[in-house]
Structure 1
């Protein structure tokens, strides 16, 4: 995620919080938030695994939670016209790519 020309970080176009208690993967939450950002059903967007290793994403976030270091985990990547930020505490933010 890049700052705008005025140096102020942009607001996300979509944001979501992963619920670790329901047993879904963080990748599922990312796909849901990306779908919301694109104005589409999450099953209609290109599969997330075409952009990143979803097993690695899930494992990194799970490891952060298991070790009590979830707040220190932050994973950023691009998907089509969006920049995605996944935090180890389950926050998923999607920004338009500049």
Structure 2
């Protein structure tokens, strides 16, 4: 991940790849990743929009894709008990219990470029 997020002492519990040039399905991919780790139906996952604006996240990744290799972008946020990291290189990383890393209101944005 280009060293964008180094505050996690453990490895992600789940890693999913998506096409960063086509972010239209990003919200669904995030919810599916969380539901896989939580072993719950996607309908039982807290609404993504309560943690982050999905359209803003898509626009951010679209902008990073348009900039190419000149910029590295990542965003970390919490949904239910999980920390989610989304990167412009097409990764969704799910980390365990977010209570170990701060409150559910924490949002971290990293820009490298």
Q: Same fold (TM over 0.5)?
A: yes
Query: Any stretches of 5+ residues in structure 1 without a counterpart?
Result: 4-8
Q: Distance in 1 between matches of 2:71 and 2:95?
A: 20
Residue 32 of structure 1 aligns to a residue whose secondary structure is: helix
**RMSD in angstroms over aligned alpha carbons?**
2.2
Query: Any stretches of 5+ residues in structure 2 without a counterpart?
Result: 101-113
Residue 93 (structure 2) aligns with: 93
Residue 16 (structure 1) aligns with: 16
Residue 45 (structure 2) aligns with: 45
Structure 1 runs, 4 residues or longer, greater than 3 Å off: 20-24
Q: Distance in 2 between matches of 1:93 and 1:75?
A: 10
Q: CA deviation at 1:24?
A: 3.4
Conserved? CA contact 1:70–1:89, under 8 Å: no
The structure whose residues are more often strand, as a share, is: 2
Q: Distance in 1 between matches of 2:70 and 2:27?
A: 16
Q: TM-score, normalised by structure 1?
A: 0.79
Conserved? CA contact 1:16–1:92, under 8 Å: yes
